[in-house]
Amino acid sequence: MTHDFQTDSRSMLARLRTAMAEEAAGQARLDKITHLIADSMRTEVCSVYLFRDSETLELCATEGLKAEAVHQTRMRLGEGLVGRVARTGRLINTPDAPSEPGFRYMAETGEEIYSSFAGVPIQRLGEKLGVLVVQSKIARRFSEDEITLLEVVAMVLAEMAELGVFVGEGAALSALHTKPVVFRGTTGQEGTAEGHVWLHEPRVVITNPIAEDPHRERERLQEATEQLRDAVDRMVSGIAEDDKEQLEVLEAYRMFANSKGWMRRMEEDVARGLSAEAAVEKEQSTARARMESITDPYLRGRLHDLDDLSNRLLRILSGQGKETGADMPADPILVARNIGPAELLDYGRSLRGIVLEEGSVGSHAAIVARSLAIPLIIHADRVTTEALNGDHIVLDGDNGVAHLRPEDTVVTAFRDKMAMQAKAQERYGSIRDLPAVTMCGERVHLMMNAGLMADLPSLAGSGAEGVGLFRTELQFLIRNQMPRRSELSALYARVMDSAAGRKVVFRTLDIGSDKVLSYMKPTDEPNPALGWRAIRVGLDKPGVMRMQLQALIRAANGRALSVMFPFVAQYDEYRAARAEMDKAMERERILGHPLPASLEIGAMLETPSLAYAPRRFFEEVDFLSIGGNDLKQFFFAADRENERVRRRYDTLNVSFLTFLQGIVDRCADTGTTLSFCGEDAGRPVEALCLAAIGLRTLSMRPASIGPVKSLLMRTDLTALRGVIDKAREDGLQSVRGPVMDFLRADG
């Protein structure tokens, strides 16, 4: 950046500030600004195009084009060069505009005489507002400095537009935030909640995009960054040393907070004349624009970290936002574009519910929300734009619906539903320590699924008999680097300690498909769910599996140990994995470590192929657990992650139940212990049917134990079995109808 350029930039921004400060109507102001830019940049034309609606741009002010064209010339998004800048959010800089693809000649503006064209988007934090254009007769490419200046000005214009400087504050705007709005998203975690909106990132309003004194501004930026770094350091040191999950996440934050590149770019913008706040937000806008085009979940996650840090920095600089602003309501429902697992752990159980614009069912935040049993709705489009701090909101997490500023009738219906649920909870509490014995005297074992330390308190609270599925990959997923063996064994030991003698079935690493480790080389597979995942990765790259098996043996430290391998599709895979376990045991024995008092090695039955494995397999395996989520998706060939098809086939479909029945029969024949640990085990009606066809160990979300147990205790499984058999004989597609009739008749 040349000194001259800095001076040009500053003097232009100073003129801009004066123009903004003057009393003038919106249009007069815009006219003045285009004149000023053209004059400062020595170009014949400067024009501002703003969005009229989401698809149409309108020429709103110009210096150099025909004045009659203002508010007349319009273009669709993507049309002509201006439309292209608006659509892509990327600059166009060309010495020969008419030869650019998509150039549209607009006779009414008289622009044919202008050869050079530079257009930059006017956008604020990913929200597109318009396009700023300069044009000149001589054919030349605008210099990098000139383009940077244009971008800085576009940034200032975006802030001004946000403040309503051009259009004036419309009455329509305030009406916008009083009406009830319903958001239909996707369920991230079931449950219902009522409360008041707490915006995770209240919009920081920047009133001073242009600075008077760049030196002072630079100091402000540096002081704020120092404060930010201290805050991150404090967060890191506030975490228990053994809480590796949170530490790993926060280390990534610390790295960004100390990033030299980030700081340098902001300092350069301050040197050009922007205020510290505007410089931070400019960086943030760039990151958000990048985020739109990136699909890699890891990179998106990191850009999100950066976005989050920028928000923190903006709040420090402006004194606005959660640190200084409004008090958090007593019943907060968190509303955010997205949130990282660390921030969510920060809020902890204080939240009643969470609504996100982005996120995914498998995201780390969703994992944490599930661990904390907080209702979560994701993909609630535009909720951060609509919701204001303190707004009344109710969440129907079961259906993925949020009602913002709900009508009274909605609230009443909702409260009735919650009251019924609360009553049910009371009932579940009273049966918590009773065994699940059905009316016909059958005993069903109810276990819980877990994956984080945060899950373990539910073990006692839910009445689960143990952990039927401990998903070990979550520990790997929420970190930025491969965990060490010692860390893993310490963690597994703590899990066993918390279980206090109850059984814990550890499932070895199940990665691939939707579970991608940021620190492993990504594999580009056409069908990841059918690809290189789980045990396939473990056997091909045995290093991690060996390390994990060793960590498990050491964690058991002489106690009983249960391990199962995910996604075993044929007998050989089980044998190979078991051989690894034998080797690990032998190694530990030689090293003099205590060996587990007992060792059970099982397999997850998640592909139909394993149901037809040779009898020897069923005899050899210590236990089998049906991973119903995967098994069902392969049975029906319906992607469990695809909203379009994932609910298309009923678990109570007769074909599927018959298939499961076959597995039960084979296990009975060989005396193989069998359980079921997919999500369906936690759905009361499905759980009843699974128990009725002979699955007597079910592992589910902790919150499901109460409802499932309560229903089991009131049901005659033998009679239910009769209903299922009859439906099958009658040739029905699903047993759901007759089963529901039976349950209703039973009260």
628 is a contact residue toward ligand PEP (CB under 6 A): yes
Question: Which tokens in the block code for residue 459?
Answer: 């073990």
Shorter beta-carbon distance to ligand PEP: residue 128 or 471: 471
332 is a contact residue toward Mg ion (CB under 5 A): no
Shorter beta-carbon distance to ligand PEP: residue 37 or 677: 677
Rounded alpha-carbon distances, angstroms, from residue 684 to 507, 634, 689 = 24, 23, 9
CB of 629 to ligand PEP, least distance (A): 3
**The one segment of 43-51, 277-285, 464-472, 601-609 that binds Mg ion by CB under 5 A:** 601-609
Residue 714 contacts residue 691 (beta carbons within 8 Å): no
**The one segment of 11-19, 516-524, 623-631, 655-663 that binds ligand PEP by CB under 6 A:** 623-631
Rounded Cα distance between 629 and 653, Å, is 15
627 is a contact residue toward ligand PEP (CB under 6 A): yes
- Residues 478-517 interacting with ligand PEP (rule: CB under 6 A): 510
Q: Which of 629, 670, 710, 734 binds ligand PEP (CB under 6 A)?
A: 629
500 by Cβ neighbours in 10 Å (0-12 / 13-18 / 19+) ranks as exposed
Q: Which of 469, 564, 577, 581 binds ligand PEP (CB under 6 A)?
A: 469
Shorter beta-carbon distance to ligand PEP: residue 455 or 606: 606
Long-range Cβ pairs for the range 237-243 (8 Å, 24+): 242/490, 242/494, 243/453
Rounded Cα distance between 29 and 23, Å, is 9
678 binds, among Mg ion, ligand PEP, none (CB under 5 to 8 A by kind): ligand PEP
Catalytic one of 200, 304, 364, 445: 364
Residue 177 bears catalytic tag: no
Shorter beta-carbon distance to ligand PEP: residue 217 or 606: 606
Q: Which of 63, 111, 391, 606 binds ligand PEP (CB under 6 A)?
A: 606
User: Which residue do the tokens 């850009």 mark?
Assistant: 303
Please calculate the CA angle 576-571-640 and round it to the nearest 5 degrees. 100
Give the chain's count of helices (H) and strands (E): 28, 23
HEC readout, 544-597: HHHHHHHHHHHHHCCCCEEEEECCCCCHHHHHHHHHHHHHHHHHHHHHCCCCCC
Rounded Cα distance between 530 and 512, Å, is 9
159 binds, among Mg ion, ligand PEP, none (CB under 5 to 8 A by kind): none
630 is a contact residue toward Mg ion (CB under 5 A): yes
83 is a contact residue toward ligand PEP (CB under 6 A): no
CB of 566 to Mg ion, least distance (A): 6
Question: Which tokens in the block code for residue 430?
Answer: 């009273």
602 is a contact residue toward Mg ion (CB under 5 A): no
165 by Cβ neighbours in 10 Å (0-12 / 13-18 / 19+) ranks as middle
Rounded alpha-carbon distances, angstroms, from residue 318 to 159, 202, 337, 343, 653 = 14, 12, 21, 21, 58
236 by Cβ neighbours in 10 Å (0-12 / 13-18 / 19+) ranks as middle
Distance of CA 392 to the CA centre of its chain: 24
469 binds, among Mg ion, ligand PEP, none (CB under 5 to 8 A by kind): ligand PEP
Q: Which of 119, 512, 627, 707 binds Mg ion (CB under 5 A)?
A: 627
Shorter beta-carbon distance to ligand PEP: residue 321 or 627: 627
677 binds, among Mg ion, ligand PEP, none (CB under 5 to 8 A by kind): ligand PEP
Catalytic one of 46, 667, 677, 689: 677
Here's the x/- map for ligand PEP, 510-529, by CB under 6 A: it reads as: x-------------------
**The one segment of 227-235, 436-444, 521-529, 627-635 that binds ligand PEP by CB under 6 A:** 627-635
Residue 364 bears catalytic tag: yes
The kind and range of the H/E element at 95 are none
CB of 122 to ligand PEP, least distance (A): 45
Residue 718 φ then ψ, to 5° = -65, -45
Shorter beta-carbon distance to ligand PEP: residue 406 or 682: 682
585 binds, among ligand PEP, Mg ion, none (CB under 5 to 8 A by kind): none
717 is a contact residue toward ligand PEP (CB under 6 A): no
Question: Which tokens in the block code for residue 501?
Answer: 């003698």
Nearest to 503 by CA among 564, 581, 430: 564
CB of 521 to Mg ion, least distance (A): 23
Rounded Cα distance between 10 and 423, Å, is 66
364 is a contact residue toward ligand PEP (CB under 6 A): no
630 is a contact residue toward ligand PEP (CB under 6 A): yes
Here's the x/- map for ligand PEP, 176-195, by CB under 6 A: it reads as: --------------------
Alpha-carbon torsion 541, 543, 546, 552, what sign? negative
Rounded Cα distance between 363 and 354, Å, is 14
159 is a contact residue toward Mg ion (CB under 5 A): no
Shorter beta-carbon distance to ligand PEP: residue 119 or 702: 702
**Applying CB under 6 A, which residues contact ligand PEP?**
469, 471, 510, 606, 627-630, 677-678
**Applying CB under 5 A, which residues contact Mg ion?**
606, 627, 630
Catalytic residues: 364, 677
